[in-house]
Amino acid sequence: MLSVIIATFDSERALVPTLAALVSGATAGLIREVLIVDGGSRDDTAAVADVAGCNFRLVEGLLAYRLKTGAASARAPWLLFLRPGTVLDEPWSSEVRQFIEQGAPVARAAAFRRGGSGQPGLREAWSLAAAAFGAKPGPQQGLIISKGFYQQIGGHAESAAEPERDLVRRIGRRRIVTLSSSAVTLRDT
């Protein structure tokens, strides 16, 4: 159902909590595979991926190229792009399953809500207000998109300075659903 794609580079410590948060999706049968597309890490990123049962590929090149390569080799019809250090809030897997199984139009995508229940009240309020007023999702929020729609819009553009933000811009805010589950990016990983 879902291929998770994570581009890494010296991401050993950041990758551990991200992969741990995906366990519920794997046990629920939502995640078909986790693809780690690595830019040549010198730390133990490959070992972390191996222990977690991920498909690890060394893909030299810019971030956009690595993400596009991961998407091209994905076996599931839906893609979830995550950054190392991003931890998904429970019950993310049931909400993503519902988004996909609801017959989500192929030309739509979803992102997780910014922050999480553990952040200070003012920051949580700011995150909710930003989503309510149509702020575009950031790369740290993850992106769920059908593989067909991703290919139709050309995937991550290698010419873009910020390929993840460029992809969100090309999808368009009106075609991105903000889920109730949140994504928190850990800073000290």
For residues 157 and 167, the answer to whether their CB atoms sit within 8 Å is: yes
- Specify the pLDDT at position 140: 82
Report in angstroms the alpha-carbon separations of 25 from 18, 35, 61, 123: 12, 14, 29, 27
Give the chain's mean pLDDT.
88
* 23 has pLDDT over 90: yes
What is the extent of the structural domain holding 150? 2-185
For residues 168 and 67, the answer to whether their CB atoms sit within 8 Å is: no
d(C-alpha 91, C-alpha 157), whole Å: 32
Q: What is the pLDDT of residues 161-187, one digit of tens each?
A: 999 999 999 999 899 999 999 999 886
* 133 has pLDDT over 70: no
- Is pTM, for the whole model, over 0.75? yes
120: domain CATH number is 3.90.550.10
- Specify the pLDDT at position 130: 46
- Specify the pLDDT at position 186: 84
Residues 6+ apart with CB under 8 A from 88: 21, 22, 82, 112, 142, 181, 182, 183
Coil, helix or strand at residue 139? helix
Look at the chain and report how many structural domains it folds into.
Answer: 1
